Amino acid sequence: MDEATSATPIAGKQPSYIADHRKRLRARFMTGGAAAMPDYELLELVLFRAIPRRDVKPLARDLMDRFGDFNRVITASHARLRDISGVGDAVITELKIVEAAAHRMARSKVMQTQILSSWDALLDYCHTTMAHRETEQFRVLYLDRKNVLIGDEEQAKGTVDHVPVYPREVAKRALELNASAVILVHNHPSGDPTPSPSDIDMTQRVKNACDALGITLHDHLIIGKSQELSFRATGHL
């Protein structure tokens, strides 16, 4: 039975064993929160909304087996999610709502804040939005004279090991936003945040473009799966 069929209300009641299981999971979540549940059960709670009448435990297990953990499931691409039998538009929509909510909550903790004194929140935001991406993404954080974050923009997307960056565009956008400083951020889908020679060269070219306009390059962060690397902290900047 495909998702579209199972997600459509039909005559009769939901099987009692499914209703009882869902009731127990919801009660456990309300009592103990997410910490009381393994990833696959938290995923089941999300899938309940997309598939109201079918046992979703097998699908949750399939998703976990394919992607590894809850974070990687909700951040997986539409195309890869559709490779899983039983996943259609309703499931993808629910997963992407959860992903968007997580990104928005993390972003709200850093926007319009003095970023150099909220560094841990910034790292949390970068890991939430970028650590589990399957391709490289390059973001630029724009700061005002008081180092308050006034802009957070995706400058480019790339492949699994490369993203095109245009230093002049970074500097030009900083001028448009009246930014005094920038922080560069990109992810390494391999999980290893060690900078490549091209990462180091690109950072220097961005710094040169910013220096010419009186804009400070505070740092370049590379986000891996479970850790990050700061160019400034490691002496690359």
Q: Which domains does the chain have, with CATH numbers?
A: 3-104 (no CATH), 113-230 (3.40.140.10)
More reliable by pLDDT, 115 or 141: 141
| C-alpha span between 237 and 195 (Å, rounded) | 12
pLDDT band at residue 11 under the 50/70/90 scheme = very low
Look up tokens 């492949």; give the residue: 159
Encode burial over 28-60: b for 16+ CB neighbours within 10 A, e otherwise.
Answer: ebeeeeeeebebbbbbbbbbbebbbbbbbbebb
pLDDT at 173: 93
pLDDT band at residue 8 under the 50/70/90 scheme = very low
Looking at residues 29-42, what average pLDDT do you find? 88
Looking at residues 148-177, what average pLDDT do you find? 81
The 10s digit of each residue's pLDDT in 212-225 is 999 999 999 999 98
Taken in order 43, 49, 50, 52, is the CA torsion positive or negative?
positive
**pLDDT above 70 as % of the chain:** 91
Cα Rg for the chain, rounded, in angstroms?
Answer: 21
| C-alpha span between 119 and 113 (Å, rounded) | 10
pLDDT at 85: 92
